[in-house]
Amino acid sequence: MSTCSAASPPTHGLVIVYTGGGKGKTTAALGLAVRAIGYDWHVCMVQFVKGTLRSGEIEGIKRLAPNFELIVAGEGFVGVPGGKKSLEVHRAAARRALEIGREKMLSGKFRVVILDEINYALSLALLELKDVLDLIRIRPPQVTLVLTGNNADQKVIEAADLVTEMKPVKHPFEKGVPAVRGVDY
Ligand code: ATP
Ligand code: MG
């Protein structure tokens, strides 16, 4: 496989937060993953809320194997009508996802670790803020850690190097247009 120059200088990673109510948080993280894979680096994405990743990206990620590993750790949407799982089940799943994220980040294998929807899980109090801040603090310098999800905690924002807030300006959903294949899923 042809990749970008392997002789490039050593690279340090960043803590990146993609938050806000506009579309583009997870897809921004996936774009960053594609860029990193261009250097033949390995990327791991841990999904904190099952069901937020769509068929398009799940299949796309498979095509980037073995450089892209996806771990579905969450237990589904929290508090949805008809949802039968207790908060404790969601909490246990979120804690497990955080533990997996920590292991992957410290494994030495991955240059990018994406914690998808972790901000949302934190805002629902499925995780302890101090545990998330601890994870950020022990990040090996070469690893880029990406935390996505709306309502990022102020302390997480302060701990990050790069924060982008997606601002909704227009979304076809407002006109009742259903999700679009290849764009939304
Ligand atoms: P994407 O995965 O497209 O980058 P996201 O990660 O920013 O979106 P999520 O909160 O994870 O947003 O929601 C994912 C789904 O919700 C996508 O289908 C997306 O199009 C849709 N969505 C995101 N933002 C909005 C919005 N402001 N209004 C309506 N639908 C939205
Ligand atoms: Mg998302």
- Domain of residue 79, CATH code: 3.40.50.300
Domain contains 67:
yes
Structural domain including 98 reads 15-167
Query: pTM here?
Result: 0.91
Domain contains 179:
no
Burial 154-179 (b: 16+ CB within 10 A, else e): eebeebbeebeebeeeeeeeeeeeee
Sign of CA dihedral 128, 47, 149, 38: positive
Domain contains 58:
yes
At 69, phi and psi to the nearest 5? -110, 130
Q: How far is the CA of 7 from the centre of ligand 2 (A)?
A: 34
Q: Show the ligand 1 pocket: residues with CB < 6 angstroms.
A: 21-27, 52, 150, 166, 168, 171, 173, 179, 184
Residues flanking ion ligand 2, Cβ below 5 Å: 25-26
Domain contains 117:
yes
pLDDT tens for 14-37 read 999 999 999 999 999 999 999 999
Domain count, the chain: 1
Position with higher pLDDT, 23 vs 52: 23
pLDDT tens for 77-125 read 766 655 667 888 899 999 999 999 999 999 999 999 999 999 999 999 9
pLDDT tens for 122-155 read 999 999 999 999 999 999 999 999 999 999 999 9
Distance CA 182, CA 146 (A): 23
Domain contains 80:
yes
Domain contains 175:
no
What pLDDT does residue 8 have? 60
Domain contains 22:
yes
| Ligand closest to the CA atom of residue 169 | 1
Q: Supply the residue whose CA is at minimum distance from atom 18 of ligand 1.
A: 184
Domain contains 3:
no
